Structure 1
Amino acid sequence: MQPIKIYNGPHGQGPNPWKPIIMAAELGLPYEIVWIPYSEIKSEPYTSLNPNGRLPAMVDPNKNVTLWESGAIINYLIATYDKDLKLTYGDDRLEEKWLLQSWLMFQMSGQGPMFGQKIWFTHVHIEQNLQTAIDRYGTECKRILGVINDSLHKQRQKLRLTADEPVWLVGDKCTYADLSFVPWNTLLGTIFPSGALDLEKEFPEYFRWHADMARRPATKKVLELREEGIRTMKDTGDQVVERQKDARKLPAYEKSLGVKD
């Protein structure tokens, strides 16, 4: 099998490309990260792969399929390659199979955009200390954390799990829905700098859930690869700031949640 190509922007702090990379790693699929500077994603030839000029894009030479949008890529990888139902459920558990889609869509429409806006107005926006926007998106981020925390707690009670047993969003195993939240979770130190969030105290189920995912061998290896990229590669994200009139600077790097020194 030829490696599946997943496009990412150096130095790799951006979360969305890592979502399909984690899925490929968890499924044991060969993959190749194609590093493309942010200065090149708004023009050809990249816009032939992703007309929106964002990351990621995926090229699967084994099936002659090119896709963009991380959620679409995740769905493709699961439908095409997860025949053993490692990260999903089958038609014998139909409700759970489709409930995974609800959580994936929540990640795409809720976690990603709201976490991203909180980072933007806290660190990047040209007008500093725009407190109304920072507060709005901070409140929304915590609401999202609460939705997941409460859902995990209900799952724990429903399945009668002990405090030491892992709990997942749907059913009795970790799925692509859970793992889709991991890359944005790693940025919580940047989203809430200076100790503005005590995740373990405020959202204990969420904290344990992320820790359980970050310890999975395949996911752990991907997160370590991301850290290595951040440590060793030039951050071309500055090119985004340069072309956007409402941006001033990128946030300082904060250690990723769930990645050990």
Structure 2
Amino acid sequence: MAPIKLYGNPFSTATMRASASLHEKEVEFEFVQVDMKNGEHKKEPFLSLNPFGQVPAFEDGDLKLFESRAITQYVAHEYADKGTPLISNDSKKMAILRMWIEVENHQYDQAASKLVWEQVVKPMYGMTTDPAVVEEHETKLGTVLDFYEKTLSGSKYLAGECFTLADLHHLPTINYLMSTQSKKLFESRPHVNAWVSDITARPAWSKVLSMLKR
């Protein structure tokens, strides 16, 4: 069988999300770095893997996937017997987990990714951060995190007492935001802060971060 391949850039939040799932499941894979500075993601042969020209892309035998959250869910289901159980066999628990996956994607990430762009990505490329945009999206993220604080006051993780994909999907943006002024949004909410400390200390996440230093 052909080896599992993950194509991406180690600094990409979406790539980090996909690689975190593979490390949590203790699945061996080959990481193929895509040179985004030279536009490799907008050219063939990469476009045959992701026609939208975005990282990551994923291959497992004859299966080809793109979109990081689709990749993480495939990995969690296909390799359910390995590593960390990132999903549940219980239909009600899985429904709650899927709800939180949607919350992360459509509520949390809409604000968090914009803050990463303004405070991390733009300075890297010599662009100027817009304080008004930061303020707007900090307000939006704060509202989301108020809901998280309430939820986490009653459970260790977002979807219950076990670490799942619902938590894992947050890791890349949290990693970047904790190096910006927006870290106050997490640190000022005790249960959110404890949750962040817990999930960012996971050994699998440390392996993802080690790729940034290569």
- Which category of TM-score, normalised to the shorter sequence, fits these structures? 0.7 to 0.9
Q: 1:148 is paired with a residue of what secondary structure?
A: helix
Report how far residue 186 of structure 1 moved.
Answer: 0.3
Report how far residue 72 of structure 1 moved.
Answer: 0.7
2:178 alignment partner AA: G
The structure with more radius of gyration = 1
Q: Does 1:222 align with 2:211?
A: no
Equivalent residue for 1:197, pick from 169, 184, 189: 184
Higher RCO, Cα 8 Å, sep 6+:
1
Structure 1 residues 119 and 26, CA, compared in 2 at 3 Å: closer, same or farther? closer
Partner of 1:97: 94
Structure 1 residues 188 and 122, CA, compared in 2 at 3 Å: closer, same or farther? closer
Structure 1, unmatched stretches of 5+, are: 156-166, 230-261
Kindly, what percent of the aligned residue pairs are identical? 25
Partner of 1:22: 20
Q: 1:41 is paired with a residue of what secondary structure?
A: helix
- On the 8 A contact 2:77/2:87 being kept in 1, the answer is no
Partner of 1:137: 137
Report how far residue 129 of structure 1 moved.
Answer: 5.6
Partner of 1:117: 114
Report how far residue 227 of structure 1 moved.
Answer: 3.6
Q: Mean alpha-carbon deviation: is it higher for 65-74 or for 183-192?
A: 183-192
Equivalent residue for 1:71, pick from 51, 69, 72: 69
Q: Mean alpha-carbon deviation: is it higher for 28-37 or for 76-85?
A: 76-85
- On the 8 A contact 2:15/2:56 being kept in 1, the answer is yes
**What is the distance in 1 between the residues matched to 2:103 and 2:171?**
13
Per-residue Cα deviation, 1:113-133 (whole angstroms, up to 9, x for no partner): 322212334462998464432
Equivalent residue for 2:177, pick from 157, 181, 188: 188
Report how many residues are paired: 208
**What is the distance in 2 between the residues matched to 1:50 and 1:29?**
22
What's the TM-score once normalised by structure 1's chain length? 0.71
What's the TM-score once normalised by structure 2's chain length? 0.86
**What is the distance in 2 between the residues matched to 1:22 and 1:121?**
24
**What is the distance in 1 between the residues matched to 2:160 and 2:185?**
28
- What value does the CA root-mean-square deviation take over the aligned residues? 2.4
